[in-house]
Amino acid sequence: MSNLLELQQVEAYIQQYHILHDISFEVPKGEVTVLLGRNGAGKTTTLRTIMGLNQASGGSIIYNDKEIGQLKTHSIAQNGIGYVPEDQGIFDNLTVGENLKVAMKKEDEETTTRMEWVLGLFPDLQKFWKKPGGQLSGGQKQMLAIARAYVNENELLLIDEPSKGLAPIIVEKVMESIQQMKEQTTILLVEQNFLMASKIGDRFYIIDDGQTIHNGQMDELKNDKALMKKYLGIA
Amino acid sequence: MDLIVSLAINGLATGMLIFLLAAGLTLIFGLMDVLNFAHGGLFVWGAFSGVWVYNLTGNFMLGIAAAIVTGLILGAITEFLIIRPVYGNHIQQILITLGLMLVLGELIKVVFGPEQKSAVPPAFLDGSFMLGDIILIKYRLFIIAVGIFIFALTTFILKRTRIGLIVRAGVMNKEMVQSLGINIQFVFMAVFMVGAAMAALSGMLMAPYSGVIYAEMGLEFAILAFIVVVIGGMGSFKGSLFAAILVGLTQAFMAYYVPALSLAVNMLLMTAVLIFRPEGLFKVKG
Amino acid sequence: MNLRHIERSTWIYIAFALLLFIVPFLFTGRSMLFMIMQVFIFGIFAMSYDLLLGYTGIISFGHAMFFGIGAYSAAIVMDLNDSTLLSLAAGVLVAVIIAAIVSFIAGILTLRLKSHFYAMLTLALAGLFLVAAEKWTSLTGGGEGFTFRLPEFLRDSGTMYMICLISLVVFFFGLRRFTKSPLGKVLVAIRENENRTESLGFQVLHYKVIVSVIAGVIASFAGVLYVLSLRFIDTSVFAVDVTLDALLMTIIGGVGTLIGPLIGAGLVEFAHHWLSDLADVHWIFERWIILYGIVYILAVIFFPLGIAGTIQSKFSNRVTKGLFKK
Q: How far is B39 from chain A (nearest CA, A)?
A: 27
> Which pLDDT belongs to residue B38?
92
Do you know the residue count of chain B?
Answer: 286
Residue A94 three-state SS: coil
Q: Which helix (H) or strand (E) holds C80?
A: helix C63-80
| Residue span of the structural domain in which B88 resides | 2-215
Instruction: Measure CB to CB from residue B89 to each of C125, C284, C326 and give the nearest one.
Output: C326
Q: Which chains touch B (3 or more CB pairs under 8 A)?
A: A, C
Whether B9 is covered by a domain: the verdict is yes
Residue A157 three-state SS: strand
Alpha carbon separation from B17 to A114, B24, B222, C96 (Å, rounded): 47, 12, 11, 39
Contact in structure between A92 and A134 (CB atoms under 8 Å): yes
Chain A residues whose CB is inside 8 A of the B180 CB are 77, 102-103, 148, 152
> Nearest chain B Cα to A103, which residue?
B180
| pLDDT for residue C21 is more than 80 | no
The verdict on C268 touching B (C-beta cutoff 8 Å) is: no
Q: Average pLDDT of chain C?
A: 85
Least confident of B233-242, C20-29, C185-194: C20-29
Please judge whether A94 and B165 are an interchain contact, meaning their C-beta atoms are less than 8 angstroms apart.
yes
3-state secondary structure string across B101-137: HHHHHHHHHHHHCCCCEECCCCHHHCCEEEECCEEEE
> Which pLDDT belongs to residue C171?
93
Instruction: Measure CB to CB from residue A105 to each of B175, B179, B181 and give the nearest one.
Output: B181
Least confident of A86-95, B29-38, B244-253, C88-97: B29-38
Chain B residues whose CB is inside 8 A of the C123 CB are 37, 223, 226
| pLDDT for residue C159 is more than 70 | yes
The residues that bridge with A12 in the sheet, in sequence order, are A20, A56
The residues that bridge with A217 in the sheet, in sequence order, are A203
Please judge whether C251 and B95 are an interchain contact, meaning their C-beta atoms are less than 8 angstroms apart.
yes
> Which pLDDT belongs to residue C326?
43
Q: What is the pLDDT of residues B161-191, one digit of tens each?
A: 999 999 999 888 889 999 999 999 899 999 9
Contact in structure between B212 and B44 (CB atoms under 8 Å): no
- Distance in angstroms (rounded) separating the CA atoms of residues A143 and A174: 7
Q: What is the ipTM of this complex?
A: 0.89
- Distance in angstroms (rounded) separating the CA atoms of residues B226 and B158: 22
Distance of CA A192 to the CA centre of its chain: 13
- DSSP 8-state code for residue C149: P
Number of Cβ atoms within 10 Å of the Cβ of B186: 12
At C4, the pLDDT band (50, 70, 90 cuts) reads low
Burial bucket for residue C1 (CB in 10 Å: 0-12, 13-18, 19+)? exposed
Q: Of B83-87, B197-201, B257-261, C200-204, which has the strongest mean pLDDT?
A: B197-201
> Which pLDDT belongs to residue C101?
95
Please judge whether B92 and C61 are an interchain contact, meaning their C-beta atoms are less than 8 angstroms apart.
no
> Which pLDDT belongs to residue C198?
83
- Distance in angstroms (rounded) separating the CA atoms of residues A179 and A191: 14
Chain C residues whose CB is inside 8 A of the B103 CB are 289-290, 293-294, 297
> Which pLDDT belongs to residue A151?
87
Interface A-B, measured as beta-carbon pairs within 8 A, has a size of 60
> Which pLDDT belongs to residue B286?
37
> Which pLDDT belongs to residue B177?
94
The CA R_g of chain A, rounded to the nearest whole Å, is 17
Q: Does B88 or B202 have the greater pLDDT score?
A: B202
- Distance in angstroms (rounded) separating the CA atoms of residues B82 and B100: 8
Structural domains in chain A plus CATH codes? 3-80+155-232 (3.40.50.300), 89-153 (no CATH)
Total structural domains in chain B? 1
CA atoms C63, C65, C68, C74: torsion sign: negative
The verdict on C101 touching B (C-beta cutoff 8 Å) is: no
Whether B273 is covered by a domain: the verdict is no
Closest Cα partner for B51 from B212, B247, B250, B231?
Answer: B212
Least confident of A9-13, A43-47, B266-270, C310-314: C310-314
Residue A28 three-state SS: strand
Q: What is the pLDDT of residues A61-111, one digit of tens each?
A: 999 989 998 899 999 999 999 999 999 999 998 999 999 999 887 778 888
| pLDDT for residue B69 is more than 90 | yes
Chain B residues whose CB is inside 8 A of the C135 CB are 260
- Distance in angstroms (rounded) separating the CA atoms of residues A34 and A22: 17
Q: Which helix (H) or strand (E) holds A214?
A: strand A211-217
Please judge whether B169 and A72 are an interchain contact, meaning their C-beta atoms are less than 8 angstroms apart.
no
| pLDDT for residue C2 is more than 60 | no
> Which pLDDT belongs to residue C209?
93
The residues that bridge with A25 in the sheet, in sequence order, are A7
Please judge whether B99 and C296 are an interchain contact, meaning their C-beta atoms are less than 8 angstroms apart.
yes
Please judge whether B165 and A98 are an interchain contact, meaning their C-beta atoms are less than 8 angstroms apart.
yes
Whether B230 is covered by a domain: the verdict is no
Q: How far is C89 from chain B (nearest CA, A)?
A: 30
> Which pLDDT belongs to residue C3?
58
Q: Which stretches of chain A drop beneath a pLDDT of 50?
A: 235
Residue C7 three-state SS: coil
Contact in structure between B138 and B129 (CB atoms under 8 Å): yes
| pLDDT for residue B66 is more than 70 | yes
> Which pLDDT belongs to residue B282?
82
